[in-house]
């Protein structure tokens, strides 16, 4: 698999900086996959699932390090990091199986080290380890980045948001232990790559859509474009 950097753009780097240096480093590691998976479309799916989980985890560890979270937000991010570290070995096995690699020990050992780093509070080591892993397992950004700049995309994104997201995200349940975040605030704080990754993983389907993200790549790109550039659309 040939990977090439999709975020070489200097503006992206400039936007990352306020989020914290480590966070930025982790994001630069989210790169474009230039070629299709070698053995058919389905072959890449489990590897992509693993790559996405690493990218999300990388973003979360960056957020913990960059500070600025309320104690409640911090607790939620920590809980998500713990649970992600718990499922990573399963996703890794799936990914290796898909790539037909016989020896799973090196990767599993690497994940164990990450879990140990986290449980011993070595957050910088965790962030660095995740950065390395996401270079090795890049998220496929084809069709997602760069975000579409057209007003068609932003309008399509607005329709999607109004019909399918707003009900929960504009009126979060304040008593919930995990309230729905304001997606515009999130879009503002995140880089384009980070936003797309969180839309790819943050949206779950329902029982009828088998808990798979119900949106296709075009929908995700449109939504991200709308969330980022809402102001440009006017009232
Ligand atoms: C039925 C209510 C509901 C709907 C509809 C909904 N969400 Fe959410 N969403 C939530 C809640 C609750 C959370 C917080 C979950 C948590 O923190 O564990 C969340 C979290 C998220 C996250 C952050 C996940 C993370 O990893 O922190 C993203 C991104 C997201 N939603 C995107 C969307 C988008 C885009 C739509 C519309 C296409 C949507 N959601 C529709 C309730 C909803």
23-77 confidence digits (pLDDT tens)? 333 443 344 333 333 433 444 889 999 999 999 999 999 989 988 888 988 999 9
Cβ neighbours of 32 (radius 10 Å): 19
- Taking CA atoms only, the protein residue closest to ligand 1 atom 9 is 180
Are 173 and 179 in contact, with CB atoms under 8 Å apart? Answer: yes
Q: Which residue among 78, 193, 202, 212 has the greatest number of ligand 1 atoms within 8 angstroms of its CB, and so is best to mutate?
A: 202
- pLDDT at res. 206: 63
Tell me, using a 6 A CB cutoff, whether residue 219 lines ligand 1: no
Tell me, using a 6 A CB cutoff, whether residue 167 lines ligand 1: yes
User: What distance in Å separates the CA atoms of residue 158 and residue 16, rounded to the nearest whole number?
Assistant: 25
- pLDDT at res. 28: 39
Tell me, using a 6 A CB cutoff, whether residue 214 lines ligand 1: no
Q: Which residue among 168, 185, 196, 214 has the greatest number of ligand 1 atoms within 8 angstroms of its CB, and so is best to mutate?
A: 168
Res. 8: pLDDT tops 50 = no
Indicate which atom in ligand 1 lies nearest the CA of residue 76: 17
- pLDDT at res. 218: 95
CA of 180 to the centre of ligand 1 (A): 5
Measure Cα distances from 53 to 24, 30, 60, 79, 146 in Å: 17, 12, 11, 14, 21
- Taking CA atoms only, the protein residue closest to ligand 1 atom 26 is 202
Indicate which atom in ligand 1 lies nearest the CA of residue 165: 37
User: What distance in Å separates the CA atoms of residue 136 and residue 200, rounded to the nearest whole number?
Assistant: 19
- pLDDT at res. 174: 82
**CB environment 176-196: b (16+ within 10 A), e (fewer):** eeeeebebbebbebbbbbbbb
Confidence band of 153 (pLDDT split at 50, 70, 90):
very high
């Amino acid at each position: 698999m040939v990977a090439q950097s999709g975020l070489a753009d200097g503006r992206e780097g400039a936007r990352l900086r306020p989020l914290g240096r480590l966070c930025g480093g982790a994001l630069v590691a989210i790169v474009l996959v230039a070629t299709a998976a070698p053995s058919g479309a389905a072959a890449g799916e489990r590897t992509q699932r693993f790559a996405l989980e690493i990218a999300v985890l990388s973003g979360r560890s960056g957020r913990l390090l960059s500070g600025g979270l309320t104690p409640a937000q911090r607790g939620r991010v920590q809980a998500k990091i713990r649970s992600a570290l718990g499922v990573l070995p399963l996703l890794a096995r799936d990914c290796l199986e898909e790539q037909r690699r016989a020896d799973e020990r090196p990767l599993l050992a690497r994940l164990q080290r990450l879990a140990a780093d986290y449980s011993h509070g070595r957050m910088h080591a965790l962030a660095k380890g995740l950065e390395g892993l996401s270079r090795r397992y890049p998220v496929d950004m084809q069709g997602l980045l760069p975000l579409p700049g057209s007003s068609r995309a932003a309008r399509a994104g607005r329709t999607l948001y109004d019909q399918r997201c707003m009900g929960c995200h504009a009126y979060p349940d304040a008593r919930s232990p995990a309230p729905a975040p304001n997606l515009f605030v999130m879009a503002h704080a995140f880089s384009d790559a980070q936003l797309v990754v969180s839309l790819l993983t943050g949206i779950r389907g329902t029982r009828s859509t088998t808990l798979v993200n119900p949106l296709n790549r075009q929908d995700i790109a449109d939504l991200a474009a709308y969330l980022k550039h809402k102001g440009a659309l006017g009232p």
